[in-house]
Amino acid sequence: VNIYCALQENRIINLIPSLDYRHVGLVQPTPGQGGFGAVFEVLDLRTKQTRAMKIELQAPDPDEVGLALEVGVLRRMQRSRHFPKFVHTGVHKKLTYLVMQICGDNLWYLVRKCRRKRFTLSTVAQLSLQTLQAIRELHHAELLHRDIKPENFLMGRGPADKRLVYLLDFGLVRRYKFKGKIRPARPVAAFRGTLVYASPRVLSNQDAGRCDDLMSWLYVMIELLKSTLPWSDVDMNRKKLYEFKVSSVKDLLADAPNEFTQIHAEINRMGYADSPPYGKIRRLIKQMMLNGKVNEGDPFDFEPGGSEYEAVFAKIEERRTIVKRKRVQEAERRQSKNDDITMKSFRFQ
């Protein structure tokens, strides 16, 4: 599969110019990235803006919808500020592609670059508000994400949205309503998601509801704060992992703000069809911020003024600036060479 995908990536890179885009590079890879899709950073030759282009490296199975599902979800969420802007989609030489707004680094990458592999309470609390709102907006559109994890939350990339969190990767999204009514829960549901962040309900093959997205969200926030979860390094099957998660709630919430304990209780008492108490959870986060003397707008750990910026992220930005400058210079050389060839051809016509 890896050899196949590598060959396909080279094929795609050669095809990108025919779509009126120029290949710049691969978007920051994330752990667990799917083997049949890749995200490229491309330059729109018409608008001169940088975009993200997601391309299926292999056609989905007959019973799967593949990239078409992600396109549909993204289009549906265009009124939400926590979802990237849709630009274009199409099929070229049997490859389905999606062009959208490009985002910055994902939360997993950012937290793993920190010296202690965790964020401060200030950063986690502020991220909690935004990520909760993103999930709430997806649920308002009658959709479940079913794969909430830090890799799927990305920061903005431009000056106007650098503090804004985006929710991505909709390959496992499912509608939980049909004609305005909650769909009946399936007696047994095949597992979908990521084991580390899956709720106990999902691990036990119960149908996923909004409560399960929120339990995964809570696991993510606690991991960002504590650097690990009680089961992060445990190798066990789903049944054993279910039992471990149910029995280790005390360890999960140890050394975390009391508000997280209250949020866990709120989510844990919910059933498949229950509407989440988003407002109450938000108020608890606000109380956590008040107790921790956190203000909205305080610097994130990874931005100027943050606790990790000078030691870690300033150096990363410097290296990226150098790499970007080299890429631009190389692109300009290629363009100049192409212009020379065009002019010579014109003279001989």
Which two structure tokens, joined as six digits, stand for 25? Answer: 């590079």
State the catalytic residue, choosing from 20, 63, 105, 147.
147
Specify the pLDDT at position 25.
65
Domain boundaries, the chain: 2-102, 107-291, 310-340
CA 77 to chain centroid: 15
Specify the pLDDT at position 14.
67
Phi then psi dihedrals of residue 81, to 5 deg: -75, -15
Specify the pLDDT at position 330.
73
Confidence tier at 155 by pLDDT (50, 70, 90):
very high
Q: Are 39 and 32 in contact (CB under 8 A)?
A: no
Torsion over CA: 305, 309, 311, 316 (sign):
negative
Rounded Cα gap, residues 84 and 81, in angstroms: 8
Superfamily of domain 107-291: Transferase(Phosphotransferase) domain 1 (1.10.510.10)
- What mean pLDDT comes out for the span 309-334? 82
Residues 6 or more apart from 104 whose CB is under 8 A from it?
154, 155, 156, 157, 162
Q: What is the DSSP letter of 196?
A: G
- What mean pLDDT comes out for the span 110-137? 98
Q: Give percent of the chain with pLDDT exceeding 90.
A: 70
Over residues 217-276, the pLDDT tens digits come to 999 999 999 999 999 998 999 999 999 999 999 999 999 999 999 999 999 999 999 999
Residue-wise burial string across 110-122, b where 16 or more C-beta atoms lie within 10 A, e elsewhere? bbebbeeebbbbb
CA angle, 186 as apex, 180 and 188 as ends, to 5°? 160
Q: If you search the block for the tokens 């509801």, which residue do you land on? A: 209
Rounded Cα gap, residues 307 and 301, in angstroms: 5
- What mean pLDDT comes out for the span 68-80? 96
Q: How far is CA 95 from CA 9, 42, 205, 345, in A?
A: 11, 16, 34, 32
Confidence tier at 35 by pLDDT (50, 70, 90):
very low
CA angle, 36 as apex, 35 and 41 as ends, to 5°? 95
CA 324 to chain centroid: 23
Q: Are 161 and 204 in contact (CB under 8 A)?
A: no
Q: Is 274 a catalytic residue?
A: no
CA 210 to chain centroid: 18
154 bridge partner residues: 106, 166
Over residues 21-31, the pLDDT tens digits come to 766 666 654 43
Rounded Cα gap, residues 8 and 37, in angstroms: 10
* Average pLDDT over all residues of the chain: 88
Per-residue DSSP letters for 84-105?
A: PPEEEEEEETTEEEEEEE----
Top CATH class of 2-102 equals alpha beta
